[in-house]
Amino acid sequence: MRPAHPTEQAVGMTYYASDADGVGGRLREDDEQFRVRELERFETEPVDAPTDAYPHLVFRATLRGWDTNDFAARLSDALGVSRERVDWAGTKDKYAVTTQLFSVYGADPEELPDVDGADLETLGRAGRGLEFGDLAGNAFEIVVTDPERPANASAITDELRDFGGLETDGDDRGDSTPDRSIGVPNFFGQQRFGSRRPVTHEVGLEIVRGDWDGAVMAYLGNPTDAEPDGTREARRFVQETRDWHEALERFPNRLRYERSMLHELAECDGEPESGDFRAALERVPSNLQRLFVHAAQSYAFNLMLSERLERGLAFDRPVAGDVVCFSDTDAPDGLELPDTDRLQPVDDRRVNSVTRHCKRGRAFVTAPLVGTDTDLADGEQGEIERAVLDDLDLEPDDFDLPGEFHSSGTRRAILVRTTLEFDDDPLTLSFSLPKGSYATVVAREYLKVDPVDLG
């Protein structure tokens, strides 16, 4: 089994599923070479629908060089409304061309601003704002720049086809699927934790353990070599001195979340207490507060998948004790979309029948994103889940947290399959993934490079 890059190992992705050498190269040489388009699943009413019943304006945005959070902030500033009135279904990267849905409470179409790098198309109105997950998935078109071994893409595809283990018949899927369907472990990608500064899960782990002080310092401190010299020096300074006032002078304005935390701490009378550190964390947007805890859950999930790989347990079919979920029958054609609201434990008697469902894309083995309502698996997978949580000093009840930090947990498919096509000149990977799955988790198998080169 091929070990992953050390930076990936630090966020729980210990291995690759394929052993063949990667094609090398890098992604995102240009924003136009990394395209993401949401596979939408959100119904709207006409634009002239009554605003008392449908107060949310829904529009599609094609963004170039915009992080989703940054665009939402720019939009709310231009409209003169709270950023909390802007919602979206999925967070996208800055260094890409992305097409995604947004909603704004109380806005009219003519009020939408002209924003550099953004093309906006009004779709209609809705009775509620968009929520995370209000999409079926995403379609990707990714160009690999300067690949060293482009011919290796075929060998990697063969290995990933075997790993995915899909069986089809004429009634289940299109005739072309078996030749091009691949599978990879459904890891949370590097950007979940911070591509250049992977600390989000460290913040979340401290929150879940009840150490609010440690959580703030994990975010403010922890300098990395990928950051500019001035930023590293500012992080070292606050880590060593805890001089919040002077740190405000040193942290650059672009680090607005860090500065929001520092403002809260600088306003304290005397030394901040636990509640003050929690208040500092609550100064950042609510979606980022949730992301901290979600990143801790994601780290534990990645570790569970890596341990399953190391033990040689299959990803495409269950063993006794696993918990599976079934497919979403309303998913768009060609997209395997797990429905984690439909769970079933697998005992010895059910292994063979559930295996047949998994082989045909009708069911998926899962692992937990641990929260207060989590029931762990039995059997060998249960051993893995309990061992990971013990190593992290976590248990489900620890996620009974205040406000946006609380999480009841869920389960997530451990395998993601997709129909992948690649062109040779330039080497381009085209595929679609269900919501919540990461394109870089597919791309890492093909490139096998430093995750910094995955963007």
CATH 3.30.70.3160 domain position(s) in the chain:
42-133
pLDDT at 333 over 90: no
pLDDT band at residue 317 using 50, 70 and 90 as cut-offs: very high
pLDDT (0 to 100) of residue 444? 98
| Residues 98/36, Cβ–Cβ less than 8 Å | yes
Q: Nearest CA to 25 among 143, 142, 147?
A: 147
pLDDT digits (tens, 9 = 90+) for 284-316: 988 899 999 999 999 999 999 999 999 999 999
Instruction: Say which residues have a Cβ less than 8 Å from residue 401's Cβ, sequence separation at least 6.
Output: 207, 208, 293, 407
pTM of the full structure: 0.90
Instruction: Say which residues have a Cβ less than 8 Å from residue 327's Cβ, sequence separation at least 6.
Output: 336, 337, 338, 339, 361, 362, 363, 364
Q: Which residues pair with 325 in a beta bridge?
A: 343, 364
pLDDT band at residue 91 using 50, 70 and 90 as cut-offs: confident
| Residues 331/365, Cβ–Cβ less than 8 Å | no
Please compute the mean of the pLDDT values over residues 238-267 and round it to a whole number. 96
pLDDT digits (tens, 9 = 90+) for 405-439: 999 999 999 999 999 998 998 999 999 999 999 99
Look at strands 56-64 and 421-424 and give their pairing.
unpaired
CATH 1.10.1510.30 domain position(s) in the chain:
197-284
Q: Which residues pair with 103 in a beta bridge?
A: 58, 87
Angle, in degrees to the nearest 10, between helices 274-281 and 256-266: 150
Active-site residue (options: 31, 87, 93, 134): 93
Residue 93 appears among annotated catalytic residues: yes
Look at strands 363-369 and 410-413 and give their pairing.
antiparallel
Look at strands 97-105 and 34-40 and give their pairing.
parallel
Architecture of domain 197-284: Orthogonal Bundle (1.10)
Burial class (CB in 10 A: 0-12, 13-18, 19+), 344: middle
pLDDT digits (tens, 9 = 90+) for 130-180: 998 799 999 999 999 999 999 999 999 999 999 999 875 544 444 434 457
> Cα angle vertex 269, ends 265, 275, to 5°?
55
C-alpha 415/C-alpha 98 separation (Å) is 25
Q: Nearest CA to 222 among 214, 230, 232?
A: 232
Yes or no: is domain 42-133 CATH 3.30.70.2740? no
